[in-house]
Amino acid sequence: MSSPVETPAFGSIIDVHRLYGPLLIGVFFNMILFGLLVAQAMTYFQTARKDPIWIRLLVFYVLFVETANTALDISVMYQPLVLEYGSIPGPLPTVFLTQPLCIALVAFPIELFFIKRIHTLTGSMIISGVFLVPALVAFGAGIWTTFALGGAGRWDNVQVSFEAAKVWISSSMATDLGIAFTLAWVLRSKKTGFGSTDTIVNRIIRMTVQTGLITAIVNVLDMLSFLVIKNSTFNFMWSNPLSKLYSNCMMSTLNARTDLKQSLPTHVSGSADRSAGSRGFMAARLVTLDNKDTIGGTTTYQTQTLTNDDPEYGIRMNKVVERF
């Protein structure tokens, strides 16, 4: 008995299951992650009232774009499955090209957010520039993919956007992995050997690597899907929720600061309560002081500047020394 012939999603014969099924699953994932994003945003605005205005504006911007993206994704599926129910799939949904556009508009500023943190840690324009280049390439390729889809017009012409999508996904994957492992490497170099601070640093490293790997892995799955599974929309099952993954990774990074603050020891050893002008005290406000050494009448305390109101808390790690 001969095996059934697999019907492509688009071509001379169209399989609506392979065409709309992955798209619908991707939209489901997108909407679930949108709910998680809204919950994280509510937590952020309740706990991060002292953040700089640029961070708060970035959060508002991401929420605005993601809300529009969710509505547009619903429209992408509503048009063929309801308004055009029973008709032969041909033209792309009217707002279909907004999918890569929204991903590019969200991913690029979030990548810049993490690149800025690399610059904060290293103080090196060269290291930051190394990641800025692929981020710019990814953003440009995302816009290129948007115009390519707009020019395709039909499902059977969607392959014309694949070259742009390859550049886009590969550069995004390189940027995400590079940022994650560079932040982990830099933070690891900030360890001092003090148990209380190194525990916090280890948690930050794990969180940084995990959030970077999530978007990189989804980019890999997206790339493999349209390279291996031809004539289908399986890649959109991964690309549809991609912008929400970027947004949730950023929000989880911002919200994690509250848990990290609560993990810090509350005691202060030594003379931490002295004013900045008293006996040469160099730091007016510290969370903890450890590793007291007395050498030749000079008392030295070393710690990390992890203050409760530091908007870069969990990322900025500077040693402070108290000398008498």
Q: Does 94 lie in the same domain as 108? A: yes
How far, in whole angstroms, is CA 108 from its chain's centroid?
Answer: 9
Q: Does 257 lie in the same domain as 290? A: no
Query: pLDDT-derived band of residue 194, with 50, 70 and 90 as boundaries?
Result: low
Q: Does 275 lie in the same domain as 143? A: no
Q: Does 61 lie in the same domain as 40? A: yes
The answer to whether position 9 is within a domain reads no
pLDDT reported for residue 86:
63
pTM of the entire structure?
A: 0.75
Query: pLDDT-derived band of residue 298, with 50, 70 and 90 as boundaries?
Result: very low
Q: Does 244 lie in the same domain as 140? A: yes
Residue appearing with tokens 């033209």: 91
The answer to whether position 253 is within a domain reads yes
Q: Does 277 lie in the same domain as 224? A: no
Check pLDDT > 50 for residue 33.
Answer: yes
Amino acid code (one letter) for 130:
V
Stretch among 35-39, 65-69, 280-284, 311-315 having the lowest mean pLDDT: 280-284
Are 198 and 177 in contact by the 8 Å Cβ rule? The answer is no
Are 44 and 254 in contact by the 8 Å Cβ rule? The answer is yes
pLDDT reported for residue 320:
33
Stretch among 98-102, 140-144, 216-220, 297-301 having the lowest mean pLDDT: 297-301
Are 21 and 6 in contact by the 8 Å Cβ rule? The answer is no
Check pLDDT > 70 for residue 217.
Answer: yes
The answer to whether position 5 is within a domain reads no
Q: Does 305 lie in the same domain as 224? A: no
Q: Does 67 lie in the same domain as 196? A: yes
**Which of 236, 263, 290 delimits the end of a domain?**
263
**Which of 263, 293, 311 delimits the end of a domain?**
263
**Which of 247, 263, 279 delimits the end of a domain?**
263
What CATH number is attached to the domain comprising 156? 1.20.1070
Q: Does 203 lie in the same domain as 242? A: yes
Query: pLDDT-derived band of residue 226, with 50, 70 and 90 as boundaries?
Result: confident
Q: What is the mean pLDDT of residues 45-52?
A: 86
DSSP 8-state assignment for residue 86? T
Residue appearing with tokens 């599974």: 229
Q: How far apart are CA 113 and CA 55, in angstroms?
A: 9
Residue 276 lies in domain: 266-324
Tally of domains within the chain: 2
Q: Does 106 lie in the same domain as 30? A: yes
Q: How far apart are CA 161 and CA 147, in angstroms?
A: 8
The answer to whether position 146 is within a domain reads yes
